[in-house]
Structure 1
Amino acid sequence: MSTLPLLGAAMPLDTFETLRDWMLAEPRDLELQDFITADVLNGDWQPLVDRAARLLDGHAGRLGIHGPFWGLSLANPDPDMRALVTRRMEQGLAVCEALGATQMVIHSPYTTWNYNNFDNIAGARDEVTELVHATLDPVIARAEGASVTMVLENIEDKDPDSRCLLADSFDSPAVAVSLDTGHAHYAHGSTGAPPVDYYVTRAGKRLHHVHLQDADGHADRHWRIGHGNILWPSVFAALAPLGDQPRLILELRDKEAILPSARYLQDMGLAR
């Protein structure tokens, strides 16, 4: 039995249908991408849940969804807009409850502007934390009751610690940390952030989810693994002490690149 970590993937149901044999051959973690947009969440999404139930029959991996994020900031200072963000989080949790999903990816509020101005504007760091709590506090009890963990994914985060400390501030099993390797590599290459493996190490046991994508340090490429210049041995060495706690999710723009990316990491002796 291989001791290499097992790869999962992020995909819509249409893609899962084509990769079902691979996903079911081992208990691979799955992140569904069908429940991101307002059109879906405001509409009748039950048929999608019913379809998922049929397709996922026999799936033994952990199930999560990518939560809504387009145009949404967890730290929106406008109370009316913040109420909308809370509503979207509630809608995402409702989908998780219907699917039996145990994880929802949400986006970190931190920007490069934040990083450069936290020590320029008194109280700016605390204000972001307070705004995120105003957004998420109303849904934490529901997430806990549904055994759903909301994982904060780095987007522009130059500082690996900010969203980790934000997750800690909730003191709840319903809030943990996600890492997107391509976003971290962008921050490293374009804004002077630490390299990707440092993000893993600094998150430590808070890290429950990883988006694996390759990139060039300039943009959010979501390339197949091996087509960018992320140093994958260092990333997987940093992940090793965390065991199977973080879900290792291939999140690629080209879904046909999922299997070649998995083979690439397997050939490197890093994952299976």
Structure 2
Amino acid sequence: MGGYLPIVGAAMSIAEFDEHREWMLEKQRPLELQDFVPGDVLNGNWEHLADEVLAKLEGFDGPLGIHGPFWNLDISAADPDIRKVVQKRLDQGLEVCRKIKATHMVVHSPYTNWDHHNLDQYDQGHAFKLECIHENLRAAVAKAEDIGCTLMIENIEDVDPNVRVDLVKSFNSDAVAVSLDTGHAYYAHGSTGAPPVDYYVKAAGALLKHVHLQDADGYADRHWAMGEGTLKWEPLFRAFQKYTNHPRLIIELANNKELPKAAQYLLDQRLAQ
């Protein structure tokens, strides 16, 4: 493609960092830690793990974030008891961010394929869903603002990319931004009638601050290395250049042994470094 080549980083556990340390420190690449997703970790002695992170990341000065908790956590939950758990987990994740000085936390979008086909049939369908999300995230957004962290709302089943963009806008806060997972969007395109992946980039524009890069086949959430699937990478990176303002680009693979191959593919294609 020529011109500016963005710097890509990766998502991994802290146990995997040493294996990729030289590559990560070479350009101080963005790092996203996956250790603080499980509830049993957050309910346990996560401070000890956070201390291990700080020790292992000595010399690392790149953008740092975590994937926030998401298992069984619907941020649009209406049940008051379930809301307590959702709010607790988000708060715990942000406490981790405060401790390790992470500046982003990924949060999963609550918009499902069912929502896409059904919310419009209810007079207050979209409004009620949005109200529930705000109730669940209100304290987390305030805390994120306070500690200098951004909640990145990642597409999961989202069919219409504009719905999540409107959600982010509704908070009117720099602490809430759009995240794109390329494989999730490609799955939605291939299996649920969503638009192509680059449409998600255009819809978010400057609100797109974070991207999970993974290849796939349009049928499932594969998390393959770039080049193993059928996603068209050059048009996607053209869209990044045209519509966004240098979001954090995070390679997120099912097997991080494939990380060097994924990064080399992007470099060989003159898409990223």
Q: In which range does the TM-score fall when normalised by the shorter chain?
A: over 0.9
Letter of the aligned partner of 1:120 in structure 2? Q
Match of 1:119, SS state, is helix
Match of 1:118, SS state, is helix
The answer to whether residue 258 in structure 2 is matched with residue 262 in structure 1 is: no
CA distance in 2, matches of 1:247, 1:110: 23
Query: 4+ residue runs of structure 1 moved beyond 2 angstroms?
Result: 241-245
Verify the 8 A CA contact 2:159 2:188 in the aligned structure 1.
Answer: yes
Report percent identity of matched pairs. Answer: 52
CA distance in 1, matches of 2:47, 2:92: 12
Residue 225 (structure 1) aligns with? 226
Residue 207 (structure 1) aligns with? 208
Letter of the aligned partner of 1:206 in structure 2? L
Q: CA deviation at 1:116?
A: 0.2
Residue 21 (structure 2) aligns with? 20
Letter of the aligned partner of 2:54 in structure 1? A
The answer to whether residue 4 in structure 2 is matched with residue 3 in structure 1 is: yes
CA distance in 2, matches of 1:9, 1:243: 19
Match of 1:185, SS state, is helix
Match of 1:161, SS state, is helix
Distance 1:39 1:236, change over 3 A: same
Residue 40 (structure 2) aligns with? 39
CA distance in 2, matches of 1:231, 1:247: 19
Letter of the aligned partner of 2:34 in structure 1? Q
Letter of the aligned partner of 1:219 in structure 2? A
Match of 2:210, SS state, is strand
Match of 1:20, SS state, is helix
1:155-234 alignment, distance < 5 Å: 155-234=156-235
1:215-235 deviations in Å (ceiling 9; x for gaps):
111100001111111000011
CA distance in 2, matches of 1:218, 1:73: 23
Match of 2:120, SS state, is coil
**Aligned Cα root-mean-square deviation (Å):** 1.1
TM-score with structure 2 setting the length: 0.97
Residue 248 (structure 1) aligns with? 249
Match of 1:208, SS state, is strand
Q: CA deviation at 1:244?
A: 5.6
Match of 1:151, SS state, is strand
Match of 1:69, SS state, is coil
CA distance in 1, matches of 2:232, 2:27: 26
CA distance in 2, matches of 1:268, 1:27: 21
The answer to whether residue 140 in structure 2 is matched with residue 113 in structure 1 is: no
Match of 1:235, SS state, is helix
Match of 2:19, SS state, is helix
Letter of the aligned partner of 1:209 in structure 2? H
Give unmatched runs, 5+ long, in structure 1. Answer: none
CA distance in 1, matches of 2:211, 2:141: 22
Distance 1:243 1:115, change over 3 A: closer
TM-score with structure 1 setting the length: 0.98
